[in-house]
Structure 1
Amino acid sequence: MQKIDQYMHEFLSELNYKPILTMSSKLQGGKKLRSKLLLKIAGKSDISYKICAIIELIHAASLLHDDVIDEAKLRRGAQSINAEFGAKNAIMLGDILYSKAFYELSLIDLKLAKIISNAVVMLSVGELMDVNLSTTFNTDKNAYLKMIYNKTAVLIEASAKCGAILANLNEDDFANYGKNLGLAFQIVDDLLDIKSDEQTLGKPAMNDFKEGKTTLAYIYLYEKLNIQEKEKLKNYHKKELNINEINWIKSKMEEYKIFEQINMDLNIYTNEALNAILKYKMEDLEDIVKSMIEREF
């Protein structure tokens, strides 16, 4: 991971503008799931490290814009860039990271560039879907799944696909692995927003619902509630919830075994991911799936 950070720093240093380095130094590194995935498939090489650095710049840019859209004050337990430097600076830094990533990508390989740049287009569409779905209480599971595929899974899918191309493996198998891993990853992320506390998450718990995001747990719960309870849940949407309101939602999720229902979905996605690469016998990729499902933040 240090090699990837080194390339990211070199890319941004070439722009020769100190505020870029000042702000980018405050970016929270995260788990680098996409990079770990690509390196496990393709192995370590100069081109692999550069592709990883490019993907991490893209991912960081998407998070910068995401935090501005959500008016988030925290990112992984630290002050967000928009909170510390202002929304305008955060947006421009995101644009710089995107633009520099595309420039570096253009120097490497046309096929890889097409895969990653197309993923970024879809990622941006996913962001727009997320914003539009958050205006009302969404009850459409398919709309939610399409949104998280674009917003999250597509870049993980592209990372796995690029790794396979670099390793001369079947790109469709690894794209299928990455897609299902990405869907499961986001569903777990949404679930943790409900089940975990602020200290563990590095951001306020149940913040998604306050921001208008009707994630899978709320969609499933809505399907199970009676008419009066449905209205009650909808009235809590996009609201600052007190402890009693939070406890009511959580108790209803327990009563209707919502978490167990989501775990069944997660098993389907993880099995799809693992079956796609079963013949390659890559234990490291199996471990990535396991660690992603069992994570606490």
Structure 2
Amino acid sequence: MISPDQVAEMLYPAAAATTSKPGPIPTVIPTPTHYQLSGETGHRTLWVLFALMTISSGVFALLSWNVPVSKRIYHVTTTLLSIVSALAYFAMAAGHASSLSCHAVRDRHSHDIPDTFHDSCRQIYWARYIDWAITTPLVLLNLCLLAGVDGAHTLMAVVANVIMVLGGLFAAYGAEGTAQKWGWFAISCVSYLFVLWHVGLHGTRAVQSKGARVSKLWASLAIYSLALWAAYPIVWGVAALARRTSVDTEILVYAVLDILVKPVFGLWLLVSHRAIAESNIDLGGYWSQGAAAEGRIRIGEED
């Protein structure tokens, strides 16, 4: 006896082929989370930078040994530069100053398999941004003091610099592909332009009254430091924003830039400042004697 299914296959072979039992539904195995973490090279680099910044702090402190307290402003700022950076690198090397910034990545498959998503997490050293928020204003302060920039423009430059650094920090943790990330990036870039405006323009005008030697020194230091600062957002964009480099490469590049901007800049400033008398800034009164001593002097003068 012929079954109904066999009759259908004989009369409508094409239809029988198309109405065959479906095969198994393709399965999709989710892609595991992808991590971008520092390795042995990056870890060693962080410890080396901690040692270099600590040694630099000691050198800058020794250079101020025979300098009167009223004329140690550059020695104090450069020493603080290195100390803060040393603490930041110690925190990063010890593993206490980083966190993961994660975002979802789409995995595209063939037409019959639906797309899937996996998380991509990159290690962000937030202590680096705290370091920059404290140390880069000290570099600006040195440039403004050397040029003789007024307090109003110096304060505006320092505030713009802090906004620039914090904008980079917020953008590094921003959601991928959102206006939030690029908005903070734009704010950071605009703040850098304000730094150039207040330091570059007003510094160029103010330093002319201090003579050719101070003007030449200031121009060299300003171009040197501001040009290096322009490299930071480029590295940040490639590493933290686009995530095109490894975390170890990011650490190495930032380490080179930090050495050039902090110990090299500080040593250049202190050695040149010692040889140019016109660059001296004598901060008497409270800076060298304290408020109580200044009060006693005023009473004595009135008597």
TM-score by length of 2: 0.29
Higher relative contact order (CA 8 A, sep 6+): 2
TM-score by length of 1: 0.30
| Structure with greater proportional helix content | 1
Larger Rg: 2
| Structure with greater proportional strand content | 2
